[in-house]
Structure 1
Amino acid sequence: MIKRLDVTAEAKALIHELEEKHGPLMFYQAGGCCEGTQPQCFEKGGYFPRMNDAMIGLAEGYEFWIDRDLFEYWQYAHFTLDVLDGFGPGGFSLETPLGKTFKVHYSLFNEEELKDLEPVKRSE
């Protein structure tokens, strides 16, 4: 099956650093507003996905949720979680005090990949 989510080496290192400080984590990517569409990292349970939001994969073992409306727009795209130096627009994510921000790079799946995508989990 084709994964919907990958994580860069830099993002993996930051996830492990945050895990050491905060324990189990989770990710949520909203569809806009103050946090834009940047992924936010929270302590596990620090954010509750809305009904029908989509969990597209695991980032170093931690759930990566996407707003239901954003997923409808990006359901045919592969996500690569990366990290950059600087502050994201919202500042609610756990990496903010470290002067870092998570970012997603997108690429569209080709026709063959679309036939074998991993299923998504929907919140209830």
Structure 2
Amino acid sequence: MTERLDVTDEAKALIQTLAATHGDLMFYQAGGCCEGTQPQCFEKGGYFPRMNDALIGHVEGFEFWVDRDLFEYWKHAHFTLDVLDGFGPGGFSLETPLGKTFKVHYRLFSEEELAHLPEVQRSE
């Protein structure tokens, strides 16, 4: 199977710090407006995916959801979750007070990878 999502070592370290402070986490990448397309980190249950949003994988054991419309646009791409110094556009994500912001790097899947992609779970 081809994985849809990876995470950098720097992002893993930040996720572990956030989990130690906040407990179970979740990630959501929206499709625009106030928060842009910046991935947001919340305490689990602090945000509820909308109907038909896509669960594309887990980072450090925590769900990573993508807005249904954004997923349709990026369904042929691999996501790598990274972290940068600075403040993201939304400011609602748990890493913001630490002067960090999550970012996703994209690359298109190869034809072989596309043939081995798992189905995504959709929210109801």
Q: Which runs of 5+ in 2 are unaligned?
A: none
**SS at 1:70 equivalent:** helix
1:120 maps to 2:120: yes
In structure 1, the partner of 2:109 is 109
The whole-number CA distance in structure 1 between the counterparts of 2:67 and 2:40 is 12
Match of 2:70, SS state, is helix
Alignment-derived partner of residue 78 in structure 1: 78
Equivalenced residue count is 124
TM-score by length of 2: 0.99
Match of 1:40 in 2: 40
Which stretches of structure 1, 4 residues or more, deviate above 4 A after TM superposition?
none
3-state SS of 1:15 partner? helix
Give how far 1:118 is off. Answer: 2.2
Q: For residue 11 of structure 2, give the secondary structure of its aligned residue in structure 1.
A: helix
Amino acid at match of 1:116: H
Identify the residue that residue 51 of structure 2 maps to in structure 1.
Answer: 51
Matches within 5 A, 1:2-81: 2-81=2-81
Identity of aligned residues (%): 81
Q: What TM-score, normalized to structure 1?
A: 0.99
- The CA distance in 2 between the partners of 1:93 and 1:51, in whole Å, is 21
Query: Shift of residue 119 of structure 1?
Result: 1.9
Q: Distance in 2 between matches of 1:52 and 1:107?
A: 23
Alpha-carbon RMSD: 0.4
- Segments of 5+ residues of structure 1 without an aligned counterpart are none
